[in-house]
Structure 1
Amino acid sequence: MKLFVRTSAFTLLFSLVLLASTLWSANVLASTQPDTYQSHVFEKTYLKVNTAQHTIHLTAYDTAIEVLYQSDKTPLPSYAIKEQAKPHAAHFQEANNELLFSTGELTAVINKSPFNIKFYHRGDLLIGEEAGYVKQLKEQGEKDIFHGFRFKLSESEKLLGAGERVLGMDRRGHRLPLYNKAHYGYTTESNQMNFSIPAVLSSKKYLLLFDNSAKGWLDLGKSTSDILQFSAVSGRASYVIFSGDSYPDIIHNYVKLTGTQPMPPRWALGNFASRFGYRSEKEVISTVEKFIELDIPLDALVLDLYWFGKDIKGHMGNLAWDKETFPTPEKMMNNLKEKGVKTVLITEPFVLSSSKKWQDAVDNQALAKDANGKAKTFDFYFGNTGLIDVFNETGRRWFTDIYQTLDKQGVSGWWGDLGEPEVHPSDTLHTLDNGLKVNADAIHNVYGHQWAKMLYENQLDLHPNVRPFILMRSGFAGSQRYGMIPWTGDVSRSWGGLQPQVELSLQMSLLGLSYTHSDLGGFAGGESFDKELYIRWLQYGVFQPIYRPHAQDNIAPEVVFHDKETQDILREFIKLRYQLLPYNYTLAYQNSTTGMPLMRPLFFENEHNTQFINNAQSYLWGDAFLVTPIVKAKQKEVEIQLPQGVWFDYFSGKKYQGNQTISLPTALKTLPVMVRAGSFIPMASTMQSTQEYSSQQLTLHYYADKSVKNSSGQMYEDDGVSVNNIANQQYEILNFSVNNESNLSFKLSHQGQYQGMPKYRDVNLVIHHLEKRPKEVKLNGRNLKVAQNDKTQAIWDATKKTFTVKFTWQHEKHGQQYLQKPITLSVK
């Protein structure tokens, strides 16, 4: 067997390396001795291995393998693996000094003596334990004793992931704290932020996740160049290996086990009005009316902490409307809904001892405890406080009662802020549902994760068929399965703050959190309005998952409160965002079913060229668009690394060959956006809010080039609201394809249906970049006359080099179903 022969050779090499390494690194106490195999038990999906020092459990999950070193009788639960995960049948073989445990593509090879586990994908080595589980690690500057794992790295491999950090795409060579913590006003460097996810994606095509929620460190070859070391103060001694044939395959396998992101409500892809913060009901209403007056689309308004108190300090935990400034909140929210605008409220997990709900929280045992069993109190910026214990039923019940009251009043979405938690003393005690008491450091990194789970499940209890909207500042591996929409924290309102935003969103997307976005325009500071910075940031926002300008209100974050030129430029971009809803909503569908990010790194295009890995200046928005934000003041041109193929400047139409770096001139009214030749881009008509959305009027853009002989696209549609549309097959997919061997031959087909689906669609198919006027056009076999008159069915525009064909795409009834009749179009 190829795999067995190869691993036997590695066993000898590993033994020589181990004997030579009497001291590992300055951070490791040299007390762990080589381990040896004693016995094993294999049962279909599961392998239990007993060694001289440990009991190790290996569990197969399709194309992933979990390894758990059992260290105590009551371990913490897995927070990363989804609740419904089912183990997968594995293959097992014992051969001489090795045990082989395989899911098919992924194989764990266990060397008996000295004990060691290596992982292979289709026979190729991915990574292996260097010392396996190590109990006595001591980290620099720490008084605590840590435990963890050590893995051997290949010389040239690059490592991505580890959550929100500003370090560059390749994070190898860094030692990263694993402790969720806000970084206020960050710019071009940060090694610790709101999401400290203990997982890395390697250029060797594996993903390694440490399923441990505790405070710790991730050393990616910093202390020892060829060693990846994970360490934590406590928690599960567990890791999971994922593999795949490509990076998207690996991400797909990762989200199959940790959970896919549910489809967001369609309105979540619209424009948000948000600031710190709206101080009165009157201000809220007038702001929304300003958007409508200026013809700028709007779908949601976000209320920061002034909704429950007129001051920044002293009111946190009230979580009830301040009736002096918001006297009729139900009327206000109903008024906004009639205008197509949803209300989103901020909430925090802290209850100040000065708040109106303090005693009620104490009486109902809702707060985390101190060593004496009393509500733990401590001071932070907002005052003296306690922390809601979301890890047990009493704390969750008290918190959800508040959410339910506000929900009945008409709140449409929730914002969970400060959920790292921002301050979380180590001696704070939390009680898990199984009765286990743990200190704050053991579960700090999953506080926001557990809070999101509570909110998500509560919203589904209240509205079983309405998709929740949950904006959260902190979470963990797998948080995406609770519909969490993260943002990149309190970024500086500066060019330095804008520069790392692509990197942050790409890195989070690689680990399933694909709706990570920034406070458009920047949040913190700023002495005066920087018009160019503001326009550039909001232009970029059109091509990121959530469009939410948000900032401290010394400078207005909303477009409507700026000068006319700013409004005029950004109105068109915000309208473009809405026109792209069919395309963007399809990206959401793809993400929900496969884990494919909405924002995609360029190295997905050329997985053999590791130079693309370092590119965080450009990214793909779906398959069709290549976006390069302008992140420097007065930048006259921008360099763009083009993947292979043919690309068109979206705004000028200029054609570029791929596989080169080009220099593109810039203009304030446009953003460097390229479109891939062969792309289909479905677009809707303009609207004031998604409440007016309809795909009955559809413009389908196709970007033609003779180099592209065949291409295809799709468009996903459903009612935009219901929870289980995909599972219940209440959706429609429009398929588009073209063959360009001799002439352009289009086919439009359809599958599926949903309640409220349009009975027909009026379609404008716009073919871009035709070299000459078509001589012959046939629609469903019928000849069309080509003219330059907009009132005709086939229109040639010689100036723009576009050809538009207008037709009605009818449904036909087949039994109880209405199916859209396929459309064929031939253009010579």
Structure 2
Amino acid sequence: MAFLNALLLMSFPLFAQNPERIFGEVAKTESGVEVATSDGKYIFRYFTPEIVETAFIPSEEEYTAKSHAVVLEPQAVNFTVSEEKESVIIDSEGLDIVVSKMPFQVTYFFEGEKVISEKTGYTKGEELEKLDFNLTETEVLMGGGARALGMNRRGNRLELYNRAHYGYETKSELLNFTLPVVLSSEKYLLHFDNAPIGFLNLDSNFSNTLSYETIGGRKTYQLVVGKTWENIVGNYTLLTGRQPLPPRWALGNFSSRFGYHSRREVEETIEKFREEEIPVDAVIIDLFWFGHEITGTMGNLEFATDSFPNPEEMMHNLAQDGVKTVLVTEPFILTTSKRWEEAVQNDILAKDSLGNPFTYDFYFGNTGLIDIFEPGAQKWFWKIYEELTQMGVGGWWGDLGEPEVHPEALIHAAGTANEVHNIYGHYWAKLIHEGYENAFLDQRPFILMRAGAAGSQRFGLMPWSGDVNRSWGGLKPQPEISLQMGLQGLAYMHSDLGGFAGDNLNDELYVRWLQYGVFQPVYRPHAQEEVPSEPVFREERTKELSKKAIELRYQLLPYNYTLAFRNSAEGLPLMRPLFFEEPDNFRLYSDAGTYLWGKNFLISPVLRENIKEQQVYFPKGSNWFDFYSGKKYPGGSTATIQLKEEHIPTFVRGGAFIPMAKPMQTTQHFSAEDIELHYFFDREAGETEDILYHDDGESPEALASGDYELLYLKGRTEGGKLHLSVLKKPGKAGKTSEFNETEIIVHNLQSGPKEVLLDGKRIPFEYNNKDCRLIIPVALKQKITNLTIIN
């Protein structure tokens, strides 16, 4: 601890403290440490060695223990508390805390290095309560939810109020997901564990100060650290919950627009996909399923049977063809809707100050709002979902759930509108998720939501980036938004492919957006109907290029499904910033133009019009190979890439295994027999390893029950030999392997091998000189399969 004390003394001249808060006494409790002060008390408790929670309780307040975000129970962490003349030292096996007595300050250390310190800590103003912290001069700040501001958000004061921004382009200070989460290039994450609205002030007045400002509630935050960025994000999702595995079909292509007006229109559209042989797995039906007009019908929440006759038959037929039906729902019950009287009688609406349903006007009509926090309203709303799911609905879209219009005077069972605004979508997703857990035990829910909160990922929520403009300006910030949200736990953030708002018919924009979509979490073209969002209705060359992109999306299904597994098991984002590879390269903290798709793909989407080339930086630590040409690029280098109309710049890590699938029109009939194992040979890669995850694609309990299979894949070059091995490992004893035969395809071999040995015996192979590819049919009959390629 002498080293910690030295660091603390060195920091005194550099950072501000709170001269008015007077230290009282310290006490070790069962759950942590309490420090009494002149104006309240601090409660410190460890969740893990790398996650510590700090709560300040002002003298006039009671401690509120309930968190909407945190689900992790505190684990046993070894720590000691020692009091010295000038400080209290909490020394743990991970994060250490030093409480300086005069002037008062709380400082955190990890592995002997200072992480962050409170500045004045808690203060209360006339309108807002505040927690503030010291920043270094150079650190980059990220977080705050979904924004279009650039990766480095330092210098902004971010409002924490979920709100739609129709038609946004390159800049949007406020979008549908505003999260009280900050990540720093100094390798820490702060989560302010409080629901009411407020602000994240990321040093907007350039005083090296980070502040969380709120109208009230808990003064509680968790500090999360780790040795790598994978550890930090993994720790945060351990704290707030991991995303359940989505149904496999959710990784396929969606047919969607605003909107399909009839059953006939839906069926003809899907038939067009089949005629063009463009894969599709789901159709999303917007608000015309319950009414003929945009206004006046919201809240009907039942099929308009004149335009959608026999909807059960429609959904059954679609499902037989491998296409799931997804319906939009909203939390608004209009006074002109069929269910208004029912909603009033069942007392399911948010109230005014007199206890009457609160009604107000917005774009769609005069409305009430379902009180998602009231148990009776939850039961009423879920019954509708349950009945429609029993009819054949395969997934749900929750729209306008910020809520889009949420008057301050409105009162919920859980508090005022401003106290619960930012967690409305969170509890809406929870309602559907838990409903499926109780009523549909064999079905993974699909829950597409426009708003949510910290921790919403544990309810399977699939966020999207809102009503983006159909323009190059709209496309440009999409990688940033998805990367930022992945760092904050919501790893399935995606965009309306092609853009949503406006009548812009731009084929180059459309194709580049769909090509980018191959490497974003959900593949869902969606737009206003004046210009078609579906590739089947575009001109021939656009349709051809779009088809190639969608076919590649389906080829990558085994790789993408394994990414989903890693996200569910470890919290790893699907899209990852380049600083995951080089955490000490500060320049990369501001870069969203190139990113990692999983561990093994490097993607550089085309985000500008009519350009012929663009620069790509290749992270250190690996060589990278052009996915299409095989050209090698050394790690740590920058190259000018000539752009192709057929695809965006796509590169694979040397030594990587990329499991891919044979062509398909729907994921419905996908099996382990459809998988090919592609290995990208690089003599300099050394020993590499990866995994492939496989299950039935639909059982919610596949992971928990062990009803899955893993392939452990290893590659190693030794002399003139390449050794590849496949280890089959079932999730539970006795499970029969679904992997019987496959093709192992080795890329980047400049000449054909002399021989190939399978478990020591010669086997036939095929070598393609033009593509420098070696194709080896392999029977995976053993638990371990060893392949030796001799040059």
TM-score of the two chains, using structure 2 as the length reference = 0.97
CA offset at residue 599 of structure 1? 0.6
CA offset at residue 99 of structure 1? 2.4
CA offset at residue 7 of structure 1? 5.2
Aligned residues: 784
Q: Is the 8 A contact 2:16 2:119 kept in 1?
A: no
Shift in alpha-carbon separation, 1:657–1:213, aligned structure 2, 3 A: same
Question: Distance between the aligned counterparts of 2:381 and 2:464, measured in 1?
Answer: 23
Partner residue, 1:115: 104
Pairing partner for 2:740 from 750, 761, 785: 761
* Deviations 1:695-725 (CA, angstroms, capped at 9, x unpaired): 2132111111221221112100111111122
Pairing partner for 2:775 from 804, 807, 812: 804
Question: Distance between the aligned counterparts of 1:674 and 1:626, measured in 2?
Answer: 5
Q: Is the 8 A contact 2:759 2:786 kept in 1?
A: yes
Q: Is the 8 A contact 1:684 1:694 kept in 2?
A: no
Question: Distance between the aligned counterparts of 2:136 and 2:89, measured in 1?
Answer: 22
Partner residue, 1:772: 751
Q: Is the 8 A contact 1:173 1:220 kept in 2?
A: yes
Question: Distance between the aligned counterparts of 1:111 and 1:5, measured in 2?
Answer: 10
1:559-708 to 2 correspondences below 5 Å: 559-644=535-620, 645-708=622-685
Pairing partner for 2:726 from 748, 751, 756: 748
Q: Is the 8 A contact 2:77 2:93 kept in 1?
A: no
* 1:539 and 2:515 aligned: yes
Partner residue, 1:270: 252
Partner residue, 1:49: 35
Question: Distance between the aligned counterparts of 1:739 and 1:747, measured in 2?
Answer: 9
The one-letter amino acid paired with 1:95 is E
CA offset at residue 95 of structure 1? 2.6
Greater Cα shift, 515-524 or 374-383? 374-383
Aligned-pair Cα RMSD in Å? 1.7
1:380-419 to 2 correspondences below 5 Å: 380-419=362-401
Question: Distance between the aligned counterparts of 2:228 and 2:120, measured in 1?
Answer: 28
Partner residue, 2:151: 169
Question: Distance between the aligned counterparts of 2:28 and 2:356, measured in 1?
Answer: 47
Q: Is the 8 A contact 2:80 2:92 kept in 1?
A: no
Secondary structure in 2 matching 1:705: coil
CA offset at residue 372 of structure 1? 0.7
Secondary structure in 1 matching 2:682: coil
Question: Distance between the aligned counterparts of 2:447 and 2:736, measured in 1?
Answer: 27
1:13-28 to 2 correspondences below 5 Å: 13=13, 17-18=16-17
* Deviations 1:478-534 (CA, angstroms, capped at 9, x unpaired): 11011010000000000110011000000000011000000000000024x211111
Secondary structure in 1 matching 2:231: helix
Q: Is the 8 A contact 2:16 2:134 kept in 1?
A: no
Secondary structure in 1 matching 2:128: strand
The one-letter amino acid paired with 2:45 is T
* 1:2 and 2:2 aligned: yes
Question: Distance between the aligned counterparts of 1:305 and 1:607, measured in 2?
Answer: 45
The one-letter amino acid paired with 2:536 is V
Partner residue, 1:245: 227
Partner residue, 1:220: 202
CA offset at residue 760 of structure 1? 4.2
Secondary structure in 2 matching 1:502: helix
Shift in alpha-carbon separation, 1:90–1:424, aligned structure 2, 3 A: farther
Question: Distance between the aligned counterparts of 2:83 and 2:312, measured in 1?
Answer: 70
Partner residue, 2:686: 709
Partner residue, 1:73: 62
Partner residue, 1:787: none
Q: Is the 8 A contact 1:303 1:343 kept in 2?
A: yes
* Deviations 1:213-265 (CA, angstroms, capped at 9, x unpaired): 11111111112430111101122111110011111111111011100111111
Question: Distance between the aligned counterparts of 2:30 and 2:788, measured in 1?
Answer: 53
Question: Distance between the aligned counterparts of 2:166 and 2:469, measured in 1?
Answer: 8
The one-letter amino acid paired with 1:244 is G
CA offset at residue 39 of structure 1? 2.5
CA offset at residue 569 of structure 1? 1.7
The one-letter amino acid paired with 1:614 is S
Question: Distance between the aligned counterparts of 2:468 and 2:225, measured in 1?
Answer: 34
* 1:94 and 2:57 aligned: no
CA offset at residue 10 of structure 1? 5.2
Q: Is the 8 A contact 2:17 2:104 kept in 1?
A: no
Q: Is the 8 A contact 2:324 2:395 kept in 1?
A: yes
* 1:133 and 2:143 aligned: no
Question: Distance between the aligned counterparts of 1:103 and 1:362, measured in 2?
Answer: 55
Question: Distance between the aligned counterparts of 1:90 and 1:52, measured in 2?
Answer: 29
Q: Is the 8 A contact 1:809 1:823 kept in 2?
A: no
Secondary structure in 2 matching 1:727: helix
Q: How many percent of aligned residue pairs carry the same amino acid?
A: 43
Q: Is the 8 A contact 1:173 1:225 kept in 2?
A: no
CA offset at residue 564 of structure 1? 2.0
1:68-467 to 2 correspondences below 5 Å: 68-71=55-58, 72-73=61-62, 75=64, 77-82=66-71, 85-96=73-84, 97-136=86-125, 145-432=127-414, 438-467=415-444
Secondary structure in 2 matching 1:696: helix
Question: Distance between the aligned counterparts of 1:489 and 1:252, measured in 2?
Answer: 26
Question: Distance between the aligned counterparts of 1:395 and 1:235, measured in 2?
Answer: 25
Q: Is the 8 A contact 2:614 2:641 kept in 1?
A: yes
* Deviations 1:316-347 (CA, angstroms, capped at 9, x unpaired): 11111111111111110001000000011101
CA offset at residue 541 of structure 1? 0.5
Partner residue, 2:26: 40
* 1:485 and 2:483 aligned: no
CA offset at residue 65 of structure 1? 1.1
Shift in alpha-carbon separation, 1:258–1:557, aligned structure 2, 3 A: same
Secondary structure in 2 matching 1:441: helix
Q: Is the 8 A contact 2:16 2:120 kept in 1?
A: no
Question: Distance between the aligned counterparts of 1:187 and 1:17, measured in 2?
Answer: 39
* Deviations 1:290-335 (CA, angstroms, capped at 9, x unpaired): 1111111111110100001100000111111111111111110001
Q: What are the ranges of 5 or more consecutive residues in structure 2 without an aligned counterpart? A: none
Question: Distance between the aligned counterparts of 1:776 and 1:2, measured in 2?
Answer: 62
Pairing partner for 1:509 from 473, 486, 490: 486
CA offset at residue 559 of structure 1? 0.8
Pairing partner for 1:64 from 51, 67, 70: 51
Question: Distance between the aligned counterparts of 1:87 and 1:394, measured in 2?
Answer: 35
CA offset at residue 570 of structure 1? 1.8
Question: Distance between the aligned counterparts of 1:599 and 1:759, measured in 2?
Answer: 29
CA offset at residue 656 of structure 1? 1.8
